[in-house]
Amino acid sequence: MPSERVTPNPMGRSRHPTWRAAALAMALGSACTPSNLREWRPEDHDSGATSTGAVAEAPVNDDPLAAARGVFAAQCASCHGASGHGDGPMAAMFHPADLTTPTWQASRTDDEIAASIRNGRGAMPAFGTQLRSEAIPLLVQLIRSWRR
Ligand code: HEC
């Protein structure tokens, strides 16, 4: 059937918006550098410095538990060790458990962990009045992040 030959290929049509976007980007590029107004040449494509490198190298602070790590290092690591293994400098006196083991992690709910931090437990002092209330759920999350 001859009519099939003139039917436009839908894949071909779908490229048109991309071409228009490229032309628009070029036009905007020229508008930003009026001193450079002339016909675009292929070698221009590679010559200019772009900002993408700087964006890619920008430092990212994507650690949502940074505050909890700070509190733990200051208030808890002396007994629990920096990563909760129960090996801080005061561990020999207080014998805290290794909070990272699967056995220990499975033995407590988040609420039980929060309650121990708030109210103390055994030889561990209560922190409910020393910590801002937002800190306790974050400390629970930090301790959960150590689950092996
Ligand atoms: C003076 C030492 C000491 C300090 C400081 C300390 N802990 Fe503890 N912690 C312990 C001891 C000892 C235990 C074990 C208590 C028990 O089960 O008898 C414990 C237990 C725990 C547990 C387990 C509780 C449970 O339900 O078994 C968590 C969680 C915990 N501590 C978190 C913290 C956090 C968070 C901090 C800081 C805000 C902190 N600890 C500061 C000594 C300490």
Alpha-helical runs (H) found in the chain: 3-6, 10-14, 16-32, 44-47, 52-57, 66-75, 77-80, 91-94, 102-106, 110-119, 135-145
23 and 78 share one domain: no
CATH number at residue 75: 1.10.760.10
pLDDT tens track for 84-103: 999 999 999 999 999 999 99
- Give the closest residue to 123 by CA, choosing from 72, 78, 71, 67: 78
Measure the N-to-C terminal CA separation of the chain; round to a whole number of Å. Answer: 66
Domain ends where: 12, 37, 57? 57
- For ligand 1, the distance from its centroid to the CA atom of residue 94, given in whole angstroms, is 9
Same domain, 46 and 71: no
How confident is the model over 105-131, as a mean pLDDT? Answer: 97
Query: Which pLDDT does position 27 carry in this prediction?
Result: 43
Least confident of 35-44, 112-121, 137-146: 35-44
Tell me: do 88 and 141 sit in the same domain.
yes
Query: Which range marks the domain in which residue 107 is found?
Result: 66-145
Q: Which residues line ligand 1 (CB under 6 A)?
A: 72, 75-76, 78-80, 90, 94-97, 99, 108, 112-113, 116-117, 121-125, 127, 139, 143
Task: Mention every residue, 6+ apart, whose C-beta is less than 8 A from residue 81.
Answer: 87, 88, 91
Residue nearest to atom 42 of ligand 1 (CA): 124
Q: How many domains does one find in the chain?
A: 2
The rounded distance, in Å, linking the Cα atoms of 48 and 43 is 9
Does the reported pTM lie above 0.75?
no
Nearest-CA residue for atom 18 of ligand 1: 122
Q: Are residues 70 and 139 in the same domain?
A: yes
Residues 76 and 28 in one domain: no
**Residue 98 shares a structural domain with residue 30:** no
Same domain flag for 46 and 80: no
- The two most distant CA atoms of the chain are separated, in Å, by 91
